[in-house]
Amino acid sequence: MALLNILHYPDKRLHTIAQPVTHFDSNLQHFIDDMAETMYASRGIGLAATQVDVHQQVIVIDLSEEKNQLQVFINPKITQSSGEVEYEEGCLSVPGIFDKVTRAEMVTVEAQNPQGESFTIQADGLLAICIQHEIDHLRGKVFVEYLSRLKQNRIKSKLKKQEKNS
């Protein structure tokens, strides 16, 4: 397994729309393993393939304290959503930035597992937030783009300053 490079906002590649996965093979499993290792090493709870400059519809999520309950969503689609909740989000592609975003409280998601088998789950709470956040990445959207233009510009300035100092 290998650690992958995570793109940082405002990198234009984060706005690339991911394509559906069509080959479910050992290469896909190896990529999923690398994504999981990268997410765990970065202390994240979710990672979309777009964030590591691979533009395929693959998401990994693990909300467990022990980091031993990896969930993989390939070609995910939200088929139903209800309610509304505001939650403070962060992102591995926007390090050190946290802000409140309003999302659906509950979602129904259809996806495929690494073997290509279809499944459907209903999610609420943090899992629902995380799924919506990661699907946004697959659609070329970063959570800070829900914020005002002023906040987005402040975030870009702060990230540029951090980059210069590192």
CATH number, domain containing residue 127 = 3.90.45.10
Residue 105 appears among annotated catalytic residues: no
Q: pLDDT tens-digit profile of 121-135?
A: 999 999 999 999 999
pLDDT score at 163: 79
Percent of the chain with pLDDT over 70: 100
- Print the domain residue range for 101: 12-165
Does a cis peptide bond (omega within 30 degrees of 0) precede residue 76? no
pLDDT score at 165: 81
pLDDT score at 164: 81
Residue 90 belongs to a domain: yes
pLDDT score at 30: 98
State the catalytic residue, choosing from 66, 110, 117, 134: 134
The segments of the chain whose pLDDT lies below 50 read none
Residue 111 belongs to a domain: yes
pLDDT score at 110: 98
